[in-house]
Structures are given as C-alpha cells and as structure tokens.
Amino acid sequence: MKEKQESSRRSFIKKLATTTAAVAAGTSMFAAEHELKPFSILKRPLGHSLNDQINIALIGAGGMGTQDAIVALQIPGVKLVAVCDLYDGRLKDAKTRWGADIFTTKVYKEILNRKDIDAVIIGTPDHWHQQISVDAMHAGKHVYCEKPMVHGISEGPAVIKAQKETGKVFQVGSQGVSSLGNEKAHELLKSGAIGELNYAEGFWARREPLEVWQYPIPDDASAQTVDWETYISNTKKRDYDSKRFFRWRNYTDYGTGMAGDLFVHLFSSLHFITDSVGPNKIYAAGGLRFWNDGREVPDVLLGTFDYGKSAAHPAFNLSLRCNFVDGTSGTTYLKLVGSEGSMDITWDKVTLKRNKTFGSDDPFYLDKLKKAGSGYAERKKMVPPEEIIYDAEKGYKGGPYDHMNNFFNAIRNNGKVTEDAIFGYRAAAPALLCNDSYYNNSPMFWDPEKMQLIKK
C-alpha cells in the first residue's frame, strides 16, 4: 500500500509541478490544465435514463421527509402518490403541497400494501427506521431511508439481511456521499495530494433554539391529532407528550443524540472518501451544560475514534465535536490531514492546502544547519501553490439531488448504490457507539469488518 501511495503521491506532485512551471512561464498550458488551477471547477456529467415512471410514497412527512420528496420529484419520471404520517397537520400539509388526490394515511402498512408504489422515502424519527425499512423491502419496495440507518447497534443486521434477501435498492440518506465535493476529495486523497492520511476532524457549532432541537409545537397538537399509540408502540409506553413527539431528537427512546444526528454524516463522507469500513475504538466525553429543557442527551459532545491500518488507508485518528452552546457559531467542515497537506471538504467545494516546503522554519534548527555549513538554509526554492480550491460548477444541483438521482438510477438500471445497508450500518455504528461510550463512561470496541461489537 505504501508503495502505491508513494507512486500516486509522486504523480500528484508531478502534475502540480507541471502546472506551477506553466504558471511561472505564463504559458497557455495553464488554461488547459484546468484540473490543477489553484481555483478549479468540479463538474458533474449530465445524463439520466428515462425509462418507466417510478411511483413513490413518503412515510414520515416532517421537515426532512418533505425535503427529500421535493428533491425526488425533481428527478424526471418520479411521481409521488401517497403520504403517511402520524400527525393530522402533516397529512393536511401534504395535500396542500402535492394535491388533494394524494393518498394519505396514518398506517404505513397501507402504503406498503399498495401495488402501485415502487419506492418509499422514510423520513420518520430514528426509532422507526429499521422496522419500516425491513417491512418495506419485504413488501417489494425500494427504500430511501433517512440517516442514521438504525436507532440501536443491534438493529443493523436485520436491515442488511432484508436487503440481501429481497434484492431491493436500499439507500441511506447521508447526501454528502454522492456530492461532487466528496468525489473530488476521494480522488485527491488517492492521488496522494495530502501525503499519508493521519488525522480527520469535524465540528458543529450551534446556538439558536431551533438549531438545537427546540422546535415549535403546533397549536392543535394533542392525542386527538397525533397517533401517539403507534408512535410509541415499538418503545417504552408513556402518556401523550407533545415534546416527545415534536422534539423527539432530545429523547433517547426516539432519537440518537448529536452523534446519530450529525456525526453520522461525517462517518458516511469519511468512509466514502477514504474507502474505510470504520473505526475500531470509540470514546466520547461531554455533558448537558445549558439546554435544561428536559432533554436526555448532552448539548456538548466530543467523540474520538481510532481507525486501524487497512488495505485502503493507513492508521489515523478522527475527532468529532458538537457544541450547542457555542457563542461564536461556526461552520461544519470535514478536514483530512496528511503528512504533506490537508483538505477542507464540503459537498460542493474542496480546499486543498499543501505544505509550502518540506524544510523546517524553526530558527533554532536553521541556525544549527547554518553552523554546520550545509548552505541548506540559504538556498531559496521553487514553491508550489499553497492552496488549491476546487469549486462546483455554477448551477450544480448539489449533493441531495445527486443522492436521489443515484437512488433512482439504481432502481431503473438494476444497479447498486454506494450508501447501501452495509455502508449505512458501518456509518451508524460508530455514531451509536459514541453515545454508548458517553452513557457508559468507557471506550467501546468495534470490529468494523465483521460489524460486531467487541467485548473487552
């Protein structure tokens, strides 16, 4: 692996050197080498195969489910025929948005029993993902399931089994995986652009009540407008509670905390970019510092993850942080750091930073070299560009569109998707184990290849 990486690193440096020389010489060669300009455009080739119409249904028509359906309907030949939700208001909204002839129900099995539906989008809270996914695939439907794929570590194998047994297309909804930005980062890492990977990180900074899961509760919310009994039928029995229904992310019976909600996106992107199957050691720290609104999950969470050496990558560490009381606010980035540079990765942009020189700028060290009479410190060098920005072409429809497009292309062409049940489980597991580590106050050990918890 090292030899392969060394040769691809040399090839990246060679390409970069050619461009740098062209820039220095002021030739038109630079224009031709658009892939290597310090500012470079990421392109997505167009092209859909427009075979038969695909009829879809949405199960869980809240914020994300609705957004997913809107994106799905941008794909030519896709039609929404039915919507399922447990709250009257959402079913009413669906009819207003998509027309009175949309079939609506509070019983997802009524959707699965319909013969005219080819695929379902599952946008329910996390505790319903596994059961509806498995039932849907066995009912002959293709499934687009929101992340995290499962609510508990023990739930993954059943989804993988259902996908294998039914042969249905199953895709998890971490959209970044299909984005131009993730693709470019994958290509750059393989070409040796940052040398040998040794560290990755991601950070979310939030402060506003809406951002930290204090969602508004509709005026008409009650046990009459919400099917509460169904909502809790696969978890602990409790009396009706609007907060537990509309602010479900704050409660462990339904949500998966910061790790399942946010970290999971970075695991998906990271695993795609590095071809990794996951970490083998997971440990978390954090606390509930500010949002004492009855939530059961921390509002500051740090996760640290050890990735062992594999055929695809060297050993590296991952650090993820989420702060819901961050007065500075900030942006979410996935950063990959290697021996020769780093990459900041978003869905439509990759900023590659490379070491300017490999020499030291430590004055003490340079003075020593000088005294040794090597002349090393005095000779100036040609330097490559320090920063190269790869930006998506204007009009790029974005990761969410690409992700939906990949889903429907796989259905139409009997193809495969990257973020299938195995991939989805390998992204969800370290996030869920991060929660386990936090609540158990101990590291968790995971075999990412076999997808098994290791008891120590």
Ligand X SMILES: NC(=O)c1ccc[n+]([C@@H]2O[C@H](COP(=O)([O-])OP(=O)(O)OC[C@H]3O[C@@H](n4cnc5c(N)ncnc54)[C@H](O)[C@@H]3O)[C@@H](O)[C@H]2O)c1
By the rule CB under 6 A, 86 interacts with ligand X:
yes
Using DSSP bridges, classify how beta strands 142-145 and 281-287 pair: parallel, antiparallel or unpaired.
Answer: unpaired
Binders of ligand X among residues 377 to 436 (CB under 6 A) are: none
What CA–CA distance (Å, rounded) separates 98 from 80? 8
Residue 274, CA atoms < 13 Å, CB-side half-sphere? 36
136 phi and psi, to 5 degrees?
-65, -45
Please check whether residue 106 is in contact with residue 133, taking contact to mean a CB–CB distance below 8 angstroms: no
Residue 215, CA atoms < 13 Å, CB-side half-sphere? 15
What CA–CA distance (Å, rounded) separates 409 from 185? 23
The residue among 177 and 194 lying less far from ligand X, judged by its C-beta, is 177
Binders of ligand X among residues 122 to 141 (CB under 6 A) are: 123-126, 128
CA angle at 324 for the pair 239 and 433, rounded to the nearest 5° = 70
By the rule CB under 6 A, 261 interacts with ligand X:
yes
Site string for ligand X, 105-124 (x = CB under 6 A): ---x--------------xx
Please check whether residue 149 is in contact with residue 417, taking contact to mean a CB–CB distance below 8 angstroms: no
Q: Minimal distance in Å, beta carbon 66 to ligand X?
A: 7
The residue among 3 and 219 lying less far from ligand X, judged by its C-beta, is 219
Please check whether residue 303 is in contact with residue 284, taking contact to mean a CB–CB distance below 8 angstroms: yes
Nearest residue to the partner ligand X, using Cβ: 62
What residue has token string 């020389």?
21
Among 61, 221, 232, 282, binds ligand X (CB under 6 A): 61
Among 13, 19, 65, 232, binds ligand X (CB under 6 A): 65
As given in the structure block, the two tokens for residue 145 are 């399931």
What number of H helices and E strands is found in the chain?
Answer: 15, 17
Of 81-89, 200-208, 408-416, 432-440, which part binds ligand X (CB under 6 A)? 81-89
Q: Minimal distance in Å, beta carbon 108 to ligand X?
A: 5
Q: Minimal distance in Å, beta carbon 83 to ligand X?
A: 9
Site string for ligand X, 189-228 (x = CB under 6 A): ----------------------------------------
Among 85, 183, 326, 402, binds ligand X (CB under 6 A): 85
What residue has token string 């970019």?
273
The residue among 245 and 305 lying less far from ligand X, judged by its C-beta, is 245
By the rule CB under 6 A, 173 interacts with ligand X:
yes
Using DSSP bridges, classify how beta strands 142-145 and 119-122 pair: parallel, antiparallel or unpaired.
Answer: parallel
Among 12, 87, 396, 407, binds ligand X (CB under 6 A): 87
Q: Where do contacts with ligand X occur on this chain (CB under 6 A)?
A: 59-65, 84-87, 90, 108, 123-126, 128, 146-147, 173, 175, 230-231, 261
